[in-house]
A and B are shown apart, each in its own frame.
Chain A
Amino acid sequence: MTDYSPELRTAATWLRWAKWLQVPLYFLVLIGLYGAFVYAPTERVMGDVQRIFYHHVAAAFDAFLAFFIVFVAGILYLATRKVLWDQLAAAAVEVGIVFTTIVLTTGPVWAKPVWNTWFPWGDPRVMTTLVLWLIYVAYLILRSSLPEGDKKYKFCAVFGIIGFLDVPIVWMSIRWWRTIHPVVITSSGANLEPRMLQSMLAAILAWFVALFVLVLLRGAMRLHALAVEQLRQEILDRGRTAA
C-alpha cells in the first residue's frame, strides 16, 4: 500500500508557496496591463491592435516554461520514482495547454487586421505551435485512459520528455523557415523600442508568476486527489474484510 503522507506534506508546501506568490502576482499583472495599454507607445503601422503582442508573447513564454517543467519533472520521476514529480508534470501540462490555447486564439485576432487572415495555415510558427498543443492534449487523453500506477507514470514521463522536443522547434521555426512571423528576439538583442521591450518583459514576468501559482495549486490538488482515492480504497478494503 502506498503511503501518501510525504506527498501530502509536499502538497501543503506547494499551497503555501502559491499563497505567497499570489501577493506579488496581482501587482505584477496590473503593471503588465499598464505597460501594454498605457506605457508602451502605439505601433506606427499596426496601431493599437499591436498591444495584443505583449500578453500574447508572455502566454507563449509561459507555455514553453510549463512544458519545460513537464520535461524536468519527467526526468525526475524516472530518476526517483516519486509520484509527486508525475503529478507536478500533469499539472504543468494542463496549465501549459491553457496558455498554448491563449496563444492560438489571441494570435488570429491579431492576425486578421494585420495579415488579413484569421489563421495563416502553413506558417511554420503557427503550425509547430498547433502541433505542440496537440501533443499535450494527447498526453492528457492518454493519461486519463491509463490505470494509476508506476507504468502509467513512466509512460507519461517519457511522453512529456519527447513532447518537449517540439518547443525548440517552435522557437527556431521563424529562423529556419520562411514565415510571416517577425523575429523579435535575435542573438544581438530585442528588435523593440525600449518602452515596448519593458512592457513585454513586465507581462512575461507577471504571467511567469501566474504560471507558478497555477501549477503549484493544481499539483497540490492532484496530490490530494490521489490521497483521497487511496483512503477510499482502504475503506472499501476494510469493509470487505469485515464482511
Chain B
Amino acid sequence: MNWYLFFGYAIFWTLVFVYLVYLNGRQRELNRELEELRESLKE
C-alpha cells in the first residue's frame, strides 16, 4: 500500500464530499426559509 497515493485520493474525495455536504446544507436552509415564507403567507 502506497500511503501517499492513499492520502492523495483521500484528500480529493474528502474535499468533494465536504462540498456536497455544504450544498446539501444550503439546500436545506433554502427549503426551511421557503417553508417559513409559506407559513407567513398563510397567516
Contacts and interface: CB of A to CB of B under 8 A. Distances in A.
A221 B30 contact: yes
Nearest to A50: B5
B4 A217 contact: no
A56 to B, nearest CB: 7
Interface string A80-110: 0000000000000001001001100110011
A51 B5 contact: yes
Looking at chain B's contact residues, the main secondary structure is: helix
A210 B5 CA distance: 22
A105 B4 CA distance: 12
Interface residues of A, number: 29
A55 B12 CA distance: 8
A84 B4 CA distance: 42
A228 B33 contact: yes
A214 interface: yes
Contacts of A235: 37, 40-41
B8 A52 contact: yes
Looking at chain A's contact residues, the main secondary structure is: helix
Interface residues of B, number: 20
A216 B32 CA distance: 21
Contacts of A224: 30
A150 interface: no
B15 A221 contact: no
A221 B8 contact: no
Interface of A: 47-49, 51-52, 55-56, 59, 95, 98, 101-102, 105-106, 109-110, 112-113, 210, 214, 217-218, 221, 224-225, 228, 231-232, 235
15 contacts: A49-B4, A52-B5, A98-B19, A105-B11, A109-B8, A110-B8, A112-B4, A210-B16, A214-B23, A221-B23, A224-B30, A225-B26, A228-B30, A232-B37, A235-B37
Given A105-B15, A109-B11, 17 more contacts: A47-B2, A48-B2, A48-B5, A49-B2, A49-B5, A52-B4, A52-B5, A55-B9, A55-B12, A102-B12, A102-B15, A106-B9, A210-B16, A217-B23, A221-B26, A221-B30, A232-B37
